[in-house]
């Protein structure tokens, strides 16, 4: 049976500083879920646990160092509104800082319905500016795999955990360089990491928008996800929307991915009990 798009479980509310959009409130998010007949939706605001030292971020688009919301702050959306046929879950996007520390404890993770963790928020890592393009690419590849390994060794509750946007364009300084980064990782390297991801029972997220890339670039991104399929991974979809406009085309995009990867219903990752 063809994979059914019945969920979107990575998205942000106005509480994420990079949204800060009053229109991106839980009522509006629930309406998106209901209108698209989604069984499960989950907000995953950017998060750093108070109990974990560190978490002061710098970013090229923020003038000063900043810190994501803690549990108290992201909980301001609770209780979440519910609707018949659409369950609204509470999760977080737990970040990883420049020292490759994940900003969530096991205790906090247990209190949440779902957590997504990215290894690709590499815009927060200050790489030396004097590196050649080749040296920078080598550094990024090493960091990309190291950060993935940190997630795989975190001991967090993998059954309700997703590897966020593995082909996110924050992994390098331009989309072109991101594609070169994906290319630089060999089939065997991807297979080793995806196999471990699958063995732990973690979900693999799909959300990339083909429209952001040339066909030629997109084919190279597709290679990465096809290797995940080959390794038996289970997949979920996340729009990573930060504004209501982010919901406009995502269901069509998710369906395109289902066709491209020929996903079947038994390849679905669902962290929620029915
Ligand atoms: Zn992210
Ligand atoms: Zn996100």
User: Is 90 exceeded by the pLDDT of residue 6?
Assistant: yes
CA of 246 to the centre of ligand 2 (A): 12
CA of 119 to the centre of ligand 1 (A): 9
Cα–Cα distances in angstroms (integers) from residue 215 to residues 28, 161, 209, 212, in the given order = 33, 31, 11, 9
CA of 127 to the centre of ligand 2 (A): 22
Q: Tokens 């509310």 appear where?
A: 13
CA of 21 to the centre of ligand 2 (A): 15
- The DSSP bridge partners found for residue 40 are 7, 87
The helix or strand, by DSSP H or E, that contains position 88, with its residue range, turns out to be strand 87-94
How confident is the model at residue 128, as a pLDDT? 80
CA count, 13 A, side-chain hemisphere, 212: 15
Answer whether 233's CB lies under 8 Å from 205's CB: no
Per residue in 218-270, pLDDT (tens digit) is 999 999 999 999 999 999 999 999 999 999 999 999 999 999 999 999 999 99
Q: 87-94 and 114-117 as β-strands: parallel, antiparallel, unpaired?
A: parallel
Q: Which has the higher per-residue pLDDT, 64 or 238? A: 238
CA of 49 to the centre of ligand 1 (A): 16
Cα–Cα distances in angstroms (integers) from residue 81 to residues 35, 88, 111, 112, in the given order = 15, 7, 18, 16
How confident is the model at residue 274, as a pLDDT? 67
Of the listed ligands, the closest to the CA of 12 is 2
User: Is 70 exceeded by the pLDDT of residue 64?
Assistant: no
Rg (CA), the chain: 18
How confident is the model at residue 123, as a pLDDT? 85
Residues 6+ apart with CB under 8 A from 124: 57, 58, 59, 95, 97, 98
Q: Which two tokens stand for residue 81?
A: 């509104």
Q: How confident is the model at residue 62 (pLDDT cuts 50, 70, 90)?
A: low
Of the listed ligands, the closest to the CA of 96 is 1
Per residue in 83-130, pLDDT (tens digit) is 999 999 999 999 999 899 999 999 999 999 999 999 999 888 878 888
User: Is 80 exceeded by the pLDDT of residue 59?
Assistant: no
CA of 37 to the centre of ligand 1 (A): 25
Of the listed ligands, the closest to the CA of 11 is 2
How confident is the model at residue 63, as a pLDDT? 59
CA of 181 to the centre of ligand 2 (A): 20
Distance, C-alpha 181 to centroid of its chain:
18
pTM: 0.95
Residue count of the chain: 274
User: Is 80 exceeded by the pLDDT of residue 144?
Assistant: yes
CA of 262 to the centre of ligand 1 (A): 25
Average pLDDT, the chain: 94
């Amino acid at each position: 049976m063809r994979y059914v798009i019945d969920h979107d479980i990575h998205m942000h509310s106005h509480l994420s500083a990079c949204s800060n959009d009053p229109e991106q409130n839980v009522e509006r998010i629930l309406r998106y879920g209901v209108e698209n007949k989604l069984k499960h939706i989950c907000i995953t605001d950017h998060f750093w646990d108070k109990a974990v030292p560190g978490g002061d971020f710098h970013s090229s688009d923020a003038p000063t160092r900043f810190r994501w919301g803690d549990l108290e702050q992201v909980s301001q959306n609770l209780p979440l509104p519910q609707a018949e046929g659409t369950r609204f879950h509470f999760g977080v996007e737990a970040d990883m800082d420049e020292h490759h520390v994940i900003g969530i404890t096991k205790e906090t993770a247990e209190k949440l319905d779902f957590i997504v963790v990215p290894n690709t928020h590499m815009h927060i890592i200050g790489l030396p500016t004097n590196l050649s393009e080749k040296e920078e690419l080598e550094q990024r590849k090493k960091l990309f795999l190291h950060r993935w390994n940190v997630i795989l060794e975190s001991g967090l509750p993998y059954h309700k955990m997703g590897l966020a946007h593995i082909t996110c364009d924050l992994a390098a300084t331009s989309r072109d360089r991101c594609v070169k980064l994906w290319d630089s990782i060999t089939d065997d390297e991807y297979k080793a990491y995806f196999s471990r991801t699958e063995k732990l029972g973690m979900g693999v997220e799909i959300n990339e928008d083909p429209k952001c890339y040339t066909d030629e670039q997109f084919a190279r991104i597709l290679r990465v996800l096809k290797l995940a399929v080959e390794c038996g991974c289970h997949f979920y979809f996340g729009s990573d929307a930060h504004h209501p406009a982010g919901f406009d085309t995502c269901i069509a995009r998710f369906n395109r991915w289902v066709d491209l990867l020929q996903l079947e219903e038994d390849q679905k990752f669902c962290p929620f009990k029915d």
